[in-house]
Amino acid sequence: TTGYEEAAAQGIIAGMNAALQIKDQELWCPRRDEAYIGVLIDDLITCGTQEPYRMFTSRAEYRLLLREDNADLRLTEKGRQLGLVGDERWESFSKKREAIESTQALLHNSWVRVHHNDLFKEALLNPMQHDCRAAEFLKRPEINYQHLLMMDDLNLPELPQEITEQIEIQNKYAGYIDRQQQEIEKLRKHENTMLPETLDYNDVVGLSSEVIQKLNRIKPTSLAQAGRISGVTPAALSLLLVHLKKSRLPV
């Protein structure tokens, strides 16, 4: 690779695993859906590279999960288990996570009523037609956490901006985030799915010409094997899975 960050990322994982091996503990590497470091290492191992590798966000299929704002939520607990996170940082993170989870529980169990339209008349693009949960109300693009604090009956806590921002993001993008997580689980579940020898990859809608050529030439026997071919991304594997189901081929 070239670039300080790419080199440092590999160094972190290598150093950590060297320490784990000395302690006779299980080695660890983040998955593609856990961290950009996971994307980088997986690309280098499974796809190889003909030129210096640079980490671009476009290389990750799960960018919606690999956000800057949730890096601590994704990795701090694992870092603690691996002995990389000290007591002070862990305590600070635990308080933040608890604040997010307890407030989310409040939002999912509290209601915003139609009569609150008057309270939010200056903010709402369209008035509410029916009562809804506060978490659902927060999905509106024009509504933020500060608006909900105007409702005394919700008893929501005053929180730092970094926490309210995380709460807003989790609610506003909930549908998209859930869909991406379902896609990840689906791929894990079908990793061992066999690919018929007779499968013509030209018939798979959405695959790039490069991927079609490689799959037709190599003829992988399973979805997992296809995923190890250079250039065949998890997104391409999803397209293969959809094609198998539509064609009523055994999955």
Distance CA 201, CA 205 (A): 9
Identity of the amino acid at 200: D
Q: What is the domain count for the chain? A: 3
Residue whose C-alpha is closest to residue 196's, from 127, 251, 129? 251
**Same-domain pairing of 65 and 128:** no
For the cut 60, the answer to whether the pLDDT of residue 1 exceeds it is: no
**Same-domain pairing of 36 and 55:** yes
pLDDT for residue 250: 59
**Same-domain pairing of 127 and 165:** yes
Q: What is the domain-level CATH number for residue 148?
A: 1.10.10.1800
**Same-domain pairing of 168 and 228:** no
Share of the chain above pLDDT 90, in %: 63
Examine the fold and report which residue of 58, 88, 118 is the final residue of a domain before the chain moves on: 88
Q: Is the pTM of this model over 0.85?
A: no
For residue 225, give the 3-state DSSP assignment: helix
pLDDT tens string 49-64:
778 888 989 888 889 9
**Same-domain pairing of 174 and 229:** no
**Same-domain pairing of 111 and 131:** yes
HSE-up of 152 (CA within 13 Å, CB side)?
A: 0
pLDDT for residue 225: 80
pLDDT for residue 204: 93
Range of the domain at 206: 190-246
Helix count and strand count (H, E) for the chain: 11, 2
Examine the fold and report which residue of 35, 60, 88 is the final residue of a domain before the chain moves on: 88
pLDDT tens string 163-210:
999 999 999 999 999 999 998 888 788 777 889 888 999 999 999 999
For the cut 90, the answer to whether the pLDDT of residue 129 exceeds it is: yes
Residue 96 belongs to a domain: no
Q: What is the domain-level CATH number for residue 205?
A: 1.10.150.570
**Contacts of 236 by beta carbon, 8 Å cutoff, 6+ apart:** 206, 207, 208, 211, 226
Written as one string, the DSSP assignment of 179-206 is HHHHHHHHHHHTTT-B--TT--GGGSTT
**Same-domain pairing of 73 and 130:** no
Residue 126 belongs to a domain: yes
For the cut 80, the answer to whether the pLDDT of residue 47 exceeds it is: no
Q: Are 30 and 75 in contact (CB under 8 A)?
A: yes
